[in-house]
Amino acid sequence: MSTDCTPAALPAPLCGEPYLLTPGPLTTSHEVKKAMLRDWGSWDDDFRAMTAQMREALLSLIGPGGEDYDCVPMQGSGTFSVEAMLGSFLPRDGKALVLSNGAYGKRIVQTLQYLGRDFSEIDKGDYLPPRGEEVAQALEQDPAITHVVIVHCETSSGILNPLKEIADTVAAHGRKLLVDSMSAFGAVPLEVGEITFEAMVSSANKCIEGVPGFGFIIARKSALEAAKGVGPSLSLDVYAQWTHMEKTGQWRYTPPTHVVAAFVEALRQHREEGGVAARLARYTANRDTLVAGMRELGFETLLKDRWLSPIIVTFFNPDDPAFGFQDFYARMKAKGFVIYPGKLTVVDSFRVGCIGRMDPAVMRRVVAAVAESLEEMGVKSAVPPRIALEERTKLVA
Ligand SMILES: *Cc1c(COP(=O)(O)O)cnc(C)c1O
């Protein structure tokens, strides 16, 4: 494992600890880790103040107009918050239109099946974006649809879905929008003045750069009020969590105290860095450095530039028979970089995350480690198989 602890513009992870080039859990700062070195009583004033501060800081990220919204944190990983949002805001006699283009869209469908809620789906496959016209058509054809559910950045391919286009269409048709902005919020703008939405979710261990342990829902207060008695699950009832928190300042059941403390520090660093705009700029620079370097080595991205998110990038595996993902993964890890397997059904791929406590200097080292690993494996060319490129031509411009 790498013991290179040379200080970059951002400090490296602890000596010997690899960078997590994964979309959460991700590499966090020393300060975030340090914030977990004390214990907190969940009922104590100090912890209640941290919860209040955190909710307020999160609300400030949705820009002016946030007074009509409130933030409700929820224990568990991000999926728990998605399930809480769907179960609490989609009325029992409502109907969802799910815009699906990857694993997280599929998970939303699966959640609605568990919840026993009515839904229809526009399934765009592995990596095509849902577009406004097709959503408009679906909404015109089916007046029973009350809510549209979209994944902001579909982390399985890395595509940044056209949220504004979809939000405008949904609003124009008088329906409500629920957003899984898990891997985008905090780095990709999601402001109420720009995007009309009913509720959105994200979690502690994505672009705010905290550690895993809870998610949070930001919803219109009117939606929170309307959620009374709707949630089919005791622990995932957003209305109950919200009203309890408003009344007592406490979480309903044991909160992940250390994770909250770390997250408050992560929010402080987010603000100090310059907020959403600065984070977007750093992640974009990470991605651009990565993609340029990888293309120089012969790699090709799954997505055309227009759809590449600054969150995570999918690369096709090289066609060269000397390439094997497991071998490549192990060699990258030995050099201090943990990468992520791909999730495509048709062609083999792998993913590299651009989020977390990393900057372009780190991304240049990632590219160098990739080049070295290929050489060690005897891979002569990183060019993907022809079928991968044929697949890609199906993509819209
Ligand atoms: C990370 C993520 C989730 C939540 O995943 P968990 O493993 O439950 O934290 C949901 N949606 C998207 C788009 C994600 O990136």
CA 248, CA 90: separation in Å to the nearest integer?
Answer: 26
pLDDT at 226: 98
Residue nearest to atom 12 of ligand 1 (CA): 182
Instruction: Tell whether 59 is covered by a domain.
Output: yes
Tell me: do 352 and 266 sit in the same domain: no
Instruction: Tell whether 2 is covered by a domain.
Output: no
Tell me: do 309 and 182 sit in the same domain: no
pLDDT tens readout for residues 181-228: 999 999 999 999 999 999 999 999 999 999 999 999 999 999 999 999
CA 23, CA 32: separation in Å to the nearest integer?
Answer: 17
Residue nearest to atom 3 of ligand 1 (CA): 78
How many angstroms separate the alpha carbon of residue 79 from the centre of ligand 1? 6
Domain of residue 307 covers 14-27+275-392
Atom number, ligand 1, closest to the C-alpha of residue 79: 8
Q: Which of 216, 250, 271 is the last residue of a domain?
A: 271
Instruction: Tell whether 97 is covered by a domain.
Output: yes
Tell me: do 91 and 206 sit in the same domain: yes
CATH number of residue 316's parent domain: 3.90.1150.10
pLDDT at 382: 96
Tell me: do 285 and 240 sit in the same domain: no
Q: Which of 243, 271, 299 is the last residue of a domain?
A: 271
- The CA distances from residue 193 to 68, 69, 169, 281, 390, in Å, are 11, 12, 15, 21, 40
Check pocket membership of 161 for ligand 1, CB cut-off 6 A: no
| Contact (Cβ atoms closer than 8 angstroms) between residue 130 and residue 158 | no
Q: Does the pTM of the predicted model rise above 0.85?
A: yes
Tell me: do 224 and 91 sit in the same domain: yes
Check pocket membership of 75 for ligand 1, CB cut-off 6 A: no
Instruction: Tell whether 195 is covered by a domain.
Output: yes
CA 17, CA 23: separation in Å to the nearest integer?
Answer: 17
How many angstroms separate the alpha carbon of residue 63 from the centre of ligand 1? 24
Tell me: do 212 and 100 sit in the same domain: yes
- Count of domains in the chain? 2
CA 224, CA 179: separation in Å to the nearest integer?
Answer: 15
pLDDT tens readout for residues 193-205: 999 999 999 999 9
Check pocket membership of 182 for ligand 1, CB cut-off 6 A: yes
Instruction: Tell whether 188 is covered by a domain.
Output: yes
Tell me: do 42 and 139 sit in the same domain: yes
Instruction: Tell whether 141 is covered by a domain.
Output: yes
How many angstroms separate the alpha carbon of residue 145 from the centre of ligand 1? 25
How many angstroms separate the alpha carbon of residue 44 from the centre of ligand 1? 30
Cβ contacts of 134-141, under 8 Å, gap ≥ 24: 135/97, 135/99, 135/166, 135/169, 135/170, 136/169, 136/172, 136/173, 138/97, 139/97, 139/169, 139/170, 139/173, 139/175, 140/173
Tell me: do 323 and 238 sit in the same domain: no
Instruction: Tell whether 6 is covered by a domain.
Output: no
Tell me: do 245 and 332 sit in the same domain: no
Tell me: do 51 and 20 sit in the same domain: no
Tell me: do 56 and 146 sit in the same domain: yes
CATH number of residue 68's parent domain: 3.40.640.10
Check pocket membership of 342 for ligand 1, CB cut-off 6 A: no
Instruction: Tell whether 1 is covered by a domain.
Output: no
- Which among 122, 31, 392, 73 is positioned nearest to 246, based on CA atoms? 73
Pocket test for ligand 1, best of 104, 161, 214 (most atoms within 8 A of CB): 104
Check pocket membership of 23 for ligand 1, CB cut-off 6 A: yes
Check pocket membership of 179 for ligand 1, CB cut-off 6 A: no
Residue nearest to atom 6 of ligand 1 (CA): 78
- The CA distances from residue 384 to 4, 347, 377, in Å, are 31, 9, 16
Q: Which of 216, 237, 271 is the last residue of a domain?
A: 271
Tell me: do 235 and 113 sit in the same domain: yes
- Kindly give the parts of the chain with pLDDT less than 70: 1-15, 395-397
